[in-house]
Amino acid sequence: DRLAIGSSGQILTVDTGLPKWKTPDNLWSQVTGASLSGNSVDITNLTGSRIYLLIKDWSHDSGSNQMIAIKFNSDSGSNYYGPDGHTATTYLTTPLHAGTGTYTYGIMIDLADTSVPVKPISSLSSITDFGYYYSTNPITSIQLTLSGGNFDAGTVQVWRHA
């Protein structure tokens, strides 16, 4: 017997040794979003094993290079580790240069809802950065703070993986 063609969006799996078509579970869902304004934005009541921040089309009003500092659970301790192993009191994004234009960053936090102490972070923009957050507490809130000036455009979308 031949297996009939599946429907759009289905994937081929094997169940008890036989191939079958299955519609995959949608494990990603957007949980919140916000406009970027002022110097900082707080995102609360987060859940999910993997959190993805899409910081989209943002710019600032400062005349010099700026970064977004990311803080989890209001933790100001030296629990943020960059790619070279240095510690900091926040996770910093790649600098946004002064001048015109908007920028987009994607930031992934793994093991966010666990008590596993090392939570890997990867950020994607024109440069890919890696680091991690060291805490046995699940991540339930995120604060985005501009290192100088104010946001004058942009949004943040927060996605979670169940």
pLDDT in tens, 85-124: 788 888 877 665 555 678 888 899 999 999 999 999 998 7
Question: Which residues, at least 6 apart from 50, have a Cβ–Cβ distance to it below 8 Å?
Answer: 108, 109, 110, 111, 112, 160, 161
Query: What are the backbone angles phi and psi of residue 81, rounded to the nearest 5°?
Result: -120, 130
Q: What is the mean pLDDT of the chain?
A: 87
Residue 15 pLDDT: 87
CA 81 to chain centroid: 16
**How much is the pLDDT for 99?**
57
SS3 category, 126? coil
Distances (CA, A) of 41 to 1, 45, 141: 58, 14, 11
- Residue 3, token pair as written in the block: 């297996």
Predicted model pTM: 0.79
pLDDT tens per residue across span 48-84: 889 999 999 988 888 778 888 899 999 999 999 987 7
Strands 18-22 and 11-15: antiparallel
Residue pair 119/108 in contact (Cβ under 8 Å)? The answer is: no
Please give the pLDDT value at position 135.
96
What pLDDT score was predicted for residue 65? Answer: 81
Q: How many residues does the chain have?
A: 162
d(CA 150, CA 141): 21
